[in-house]
Amino acid sequence: MSGNEERTFIAIKPDGVQRGLIGEIIKRFEQKGFKLAAMKLIQADEDLLRQHYCDLKDQPFFHRLVRFMSSGPVVAMVWEGFDVIKTGRIMLGETNPTDSKPGTIRGDFCIQVVRNIIHGSDSLESANTEINLWFKPEEICDYTKCQDSWLNG
């Protein structure tokens, strides 16, 4: 990664996988100019999900969230690029899809907060924590795309 780039963790939740939205979501990140550095389809177990959502453990919906996230496969990804965390969150839309603008992933494909299709890191700290939780260092590819000079000057 170059000095002005960062990484984020993006996960397509079981409802996004079941609805066949994997390609559409990847397409949006690629078209924006971000680089896919790691990806895997995984049936996340409850231990992994409890760690991932540990900051929500005191919320009344925590157990329902863990149960939902373990109900089917998840596509876990690492994306790289300039301001990818902030831009990725904008691309996702609001957590509550009814507050999401058309053109965002949640604005275009979701109708309720319980099934909001996608997760994205909300800070550099959470991105690093989530990436390290879901991926081993050797699973993250380091390569240069030929379009980088056109996007990043």
Q: Considering Cα of 146, then 29, then 78, then 19, what sign does the dihedral take?
A: negative
The answer to whether residue 119 is catalytic is: yes
**Is 95 annotated among the ligand-binding residues?**
yes
d(CA 95, CA 61): 14
Length of the chain: 153
Catalytic residue among 7, 35, 52, 119: 119
Q: Using alpha carbons, select from 135, 31, 6 the residue that is nearest to residue 74.
A: 135
Q: Which DSSP letter does residue 98 get? A: G
Q: Is 89 known as a binding-site position?
A: yes
**Which residue shows structure tokens 């925590």?**
62
152 labeled part of a ligand binding site: no
Q: In angstroms, rounded to a whole number, what is the distance separating the alpha carbons of residues 69 and 112? A: 15
User: 106 a known binding residue?
Assistant: yes
Is 28 annotated as a binding-site member? no
Residues with a known catalytic role: 119
| Sequence ranges of the binding site | 13, 61, 89, 95, 106, 116
| Sequence ranges of the binding site for ATP | 13, 61, 89, 95, 106, 116
